[in-house]
Amino acid sequence: MKIKRIYGITAAVFVIAAVLAFLLMRPSDGTLVEIVQDGTVLRVIDLSDAPDEDIRIPSKDGGSYNIVSVKDGTISVSEAGCPDHTCVHMGTLKSETMPIVCLPNKLIVRFAE
């Protein structure tokens, strides 16, 4: 009887986690994107009509940088001067709940609210 209860609880937790993951990771319908550094909005870009471009954003201390690339209606961080390159590995911005973040350079690329 205890094993059936454990299986039931495990199945319920799995279903809840799957539903939450689906809801949080669904693609955004928005096209307005903000590039924010240290709490300041540097640029707002409408991906539906933005030209392809690379935007170089120096860190506040000037020792590092990020290159934010707009291409074919998508946006990503294509290059970074930080040591871990996590922001580059995040790929293109897809979800409102998962912004692209570079912690060392205090940079956030996110859908506008």
Tens-place pLDDT, residues 71-102? 999 999 999 998 899 999 999 998 888 899 99
Q: Largest Cα–Cα distance of the chain, in whole Å?
A: 64
- Could you write out the DSSP letters of every residue in 13-39? HHHHHHHHHHHHHSPP---EEEEEETT
Asked if the model's pLDDT at residue 39 lies above 90, the reply is yes
pLDDT band at 63 (very low <50, low <70, confident <90, very high): confident
Return the ∠ at Cα 82 (arms to 80 and 83), rounded to 5°: 125
- Domains (range + CATH), the chain: 28-111 (2.60.320.10)
Looking at this protein, which amino acid is placed at residue 31?
T
Asked if the model's pLDDT at residue 60 lies above 70, the reply is yes
Q: What's the whole-model pTM score?
A: 0.76
